[in-house]
């Protein structure tokens, strides 16, 4: 029985020592990360330590992020779209306007999304684009109106039933303006 305890203790010490050696070894050399295109050497571990090293590492990693593919980077995509020059070609301009409106909605900026969707619809009608070409955007426009109604009613009439599904009792909208707008869209 003592031999078993001794073996377990020795095994624990060996595993602990190996773990420490691995961490020390990693800190002693530049970290290599295999990417699809090539090896990228990030030598921050030799130049920085602690918080400074982590900040540098995160800055380097952020540069590799493709914001357009990151579904959680709505504010960054919105900023990119807002800073993109408006194309002169109406279908391309409409696509950019739709992207702006969608990112406003995805960023939780429902009122700005409604204004952007209004602009989208105005532009589409002005350039005689067919409504069936932008039905998806109309659905998102209605969603922005519905979300605005939800937010307004949740703030104005907050109670135990106001933000719970299924909507019933005191959770029913008192101010139905935005909800009705969603239906009308």
Indicate the residue among 64, 83, 112 that finishes a domain: 64
- 45: domain range? 2-64
pLDDT in tens, 78-124: 999 999 999 999 889 988 998 999 999 999 899 999 999 899 889 98
Residue 69 belongs to some domain of the structure: no
Indicate the residue among 43, 64, 85 that finishes a domain: 64
Same structural domain for residues 83 and 155? yes
Q: Indicate the number of domains in the chain.
A: 2
Mean pLDDT of 150-179: 80
For the whole model, what pTM was predicted? 0.60
Indicate the residue among 40, 64, 88 that finishes a domain: 64
Same structural domain for residues 166 and 99? yes
Same structural domain for residues 91 and 172? yes
Same structural domain for residues 39 and 14? yes
Q: How large a percentage of the chain has pLDDT more than 90?
A: 15
Mean pLDDT of 165-178: 80
Cis peptide before 166 (omega within 30 of 0): yes
Same structural domain for residues 141 and 175? yes
pLDDT at 21 over 70: no
């Amino acid at each position: 029985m003592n031999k078993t305890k001794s073996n377990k203790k020795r095994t624990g010490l060996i595993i602990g020592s190996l773990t420490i050696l691995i961490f020390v070894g990693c800190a002693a050399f530049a970290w290599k990360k295999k990417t699809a295109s090539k090896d990228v050497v990030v030598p921050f571990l030799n130049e920085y330590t602690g918080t400074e090293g982590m900040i540098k590492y995160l800055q380097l990693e952020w540069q590799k992020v493709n914001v357009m593919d990151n579904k959680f980077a709505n504010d960054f995509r919105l900023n990119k779209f807002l800073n993109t020059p408006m194309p002169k070609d109406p279908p391309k301009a409409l696509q950019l306007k739709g992207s702006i409106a969608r990112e406003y909605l995805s960023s939780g900026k429902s009122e700005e999304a409604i204004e952007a969707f209004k602009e989208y619809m105005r532009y589409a009608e002005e350039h005689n684009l067919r409504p069936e070409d932008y039905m998806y955007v109309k659905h998102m426009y209605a969603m922005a109106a519905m979300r605005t109604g939800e937010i307004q009613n949740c703030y104005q009439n907050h109670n135990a039933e106001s933000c719970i599904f299924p909507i019933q009792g005191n959770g029913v909208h008192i101010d139905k303006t935005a909800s009705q707008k969603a239906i009308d869209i």
